[in-house]
């Protein structure tokens, strides 16, 4: 695995790198460009202080480890981690935005962003500064710190890189020990972060399918699979050739009717219905159904009748216990997608 840790000054990048090295057998690797210092992002409080003390250009980190892996060429850096893909590496030092976008093409790469409240980050910077017995005259004021922070985040585009990260971590912890516990719970070295499980894969697709919904009331998506192959997809909305629900195609939904009322007047097909209709009973028999929302009673009886063997859902619904009872009686397995076990689905 190859991690790159990005974030604003004193957000905890170095702490994450140290955790990976000490606890998960990662090796830190460095990329130091000789030119274009004004493009460098990912400044840490340590190299900010080092730069002030040694009057060097901001971004040139002082590396104490003589045996450290240091590269000055991005392609050589990338070739090295690619060839040694069975080893674990972490990049926490200076880099360009273009470096990270290039790294994201690699299947073993994970971009991790970390952030924390600005006042808390400034206090961390102060503590780091004082721990090195520096001249207090060189200590940045809060305003100077914020200006430098804004330059990194907005002028140099760090915020855009953070938005593209595969994992976002909040470091509001008051101590390193507390933050280490947070990192331990994240299971950072789990390979499913690089290649999702079948559950995560299909559930992510169900949320994506839900975005095609034209229903005014709720966005629901469904994926019907067998032997990990997709049989059909479905989302909720009015039938073909009928005006979209959000275009006043369904009077019931557009009237603001309460959940579960006047369903006999609703023109919207449910996501599960659409997926089942697409393949029919014979093909759906023994299949697995993924849905971003727990099926309603009406869809439950259709799922049972079609011979579905397992239902996996993400979001709770009002009649969950009744629905689970029906599935149990019919011998259909039902379970809720475990976000913590399978990791969060982005933007779900």
pLDDT, tens only, 297-325: 999 999 999 999 999 999 998 777 899 99
Compute the Cα dihedral for 80, 85, 88, 91 and give only its sign.
positive
Distances (CA, A) of 209 to 29, 32, 199: 40, 43, 15
pLDDT in tens, 73-99: 999 999 999 999 999 999 998 788 899
- Indicate the domain borders of the chain: 2-193, 198-342
Q: Is the predicted pLDDT of residue 52 greater than 70, yes or no?
A: no
Q: Is the predicted pLDDT of residue 137 greater than 80, yes or no?
A: no
Q: Is the predicted pLDDT of residue 59 greater than 50, yes or no?
A: no
**Where residue 212 falls among pLDDT bands split at 50, 70, 90?**
very high
Distance CA 62, CA 49 (A): 10
User: What's the mean per-residue pLDDT of the chain?
Assistant: 89
- Domain 2-193 matching CATH 3.30.365.10: the answer reads no
pLDDT value of position 39: 62
Q: Are strands 69-71 and 27-31 parallel, antiparallel or unpaired?
A: parallel
pLDDT value of position 14: 94
Length of the chain: 348
Active site residue 185: no
Distance CA 278, CA 280 (A): 6
Q: pTM to 2 decimals?
A: 0.83
Distance CA 207, CA 318 (A): 19
If residue 2 lies in a helix (H) or strand (E), which one and from where to where? strand 2-6
* Token pair in block for residue 80: 């090295």
Query: Which one is predicted more confidently, 131 or 175?
Result: 175
Distance CA 16, CA 186 (A): 11
CATH value of 198-342 in 3.40.140.10, 3.30.300.130, 3.40.50.1980, 1.10.3720.10: 3.40.140.10
Residue range 14-31: mean pLDDT, rounded: 96
Q: Is the predicted pLDDT of residue 49 greater than 80, yes or no?
A: no
Q: Is the predicted pLDDT of residue 55 greater than 70, yes or no?
A: no
Return the DSSP state at 148.
H
Residue located via tokens 């590396």: 63
**Where residue 167 falls among pLDDT bands split at 50, 70, 90?**
very high
Active-site residue, selected from the candidate residues 94, 272, 282, 310:
272
Residue range 137-146: mean pLDDT, rounded: 90
Q: Is the predicted pLDDT of residue 107 greater than 60, yes or no?
A: yes
């Amino acid at each position: 695995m190859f991690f790159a840790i990005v974030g604003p000054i004193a957000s905890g990048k170095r702490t994450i790198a140290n955790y990976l090295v000490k606890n998960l057998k990662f090796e830190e690797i460095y990329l130091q460009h000789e030119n274009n210092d004004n493009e460098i992002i990912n400044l840490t409080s340590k190299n900010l202080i080092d730069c002030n003390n040694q009057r060097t250009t901001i971004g040139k980190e002082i590396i104490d480890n003589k045996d450290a892996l240091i590269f000055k060429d991005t392609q050589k850096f990338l070739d090295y981690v690619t060839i040694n893909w069975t080893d674990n590496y972490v990049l926490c030092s200076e880099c360009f935005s273009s470096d990270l976008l290039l790294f994201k093409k690699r299947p073993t790469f994970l971009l991790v962003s970390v952030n924390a409240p600005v006042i808390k980050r400034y206090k961390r910077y102060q503590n780091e500064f004082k721990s090195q017995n520096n001249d207090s005259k060189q200590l940045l004021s809060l305003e100077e710190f914020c200006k430098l922070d804004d330059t990194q985040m907005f002028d140099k585009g760090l915020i855009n890189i953070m938005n593209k990260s595969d994992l976002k971590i909040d470091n509001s912890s008051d101590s390193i020990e507390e933050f280490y516990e947070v990192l331990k719970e994240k299971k950072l070295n789990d390979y499913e972060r690089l290649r999702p499980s079948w559950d995560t894969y299909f559930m992510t697709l169900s949320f994506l399918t839900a975005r095609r919904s034209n229903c005014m009331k709720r966005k629901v998506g469904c994926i019907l699979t067998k032997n990990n192959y997709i049989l059909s997809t479905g989302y909720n909305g009015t039938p073909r050739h009928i005006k979209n629900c959000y275009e006043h195609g369904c009077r019931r939904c557009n009237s603001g009717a309460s959940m579960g009322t006047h369903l006999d007047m609703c023109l919207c097909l449910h996501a599960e219905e659409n997926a089942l209709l697409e393949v029919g009973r014979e093909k759906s028999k023994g299949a697995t159904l993924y849905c971003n929302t727990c099926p309603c009673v009406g869809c439950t009886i259709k799922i049972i009748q079609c011979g579905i063997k397992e239902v996996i859902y993400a979001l709770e619904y009002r009649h969950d216990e009744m629905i689970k009872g029906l599935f149990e009686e019919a011998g259909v397995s039902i379970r809720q997608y475990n976000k913590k076990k399978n990791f969060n689905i982005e933007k779900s």
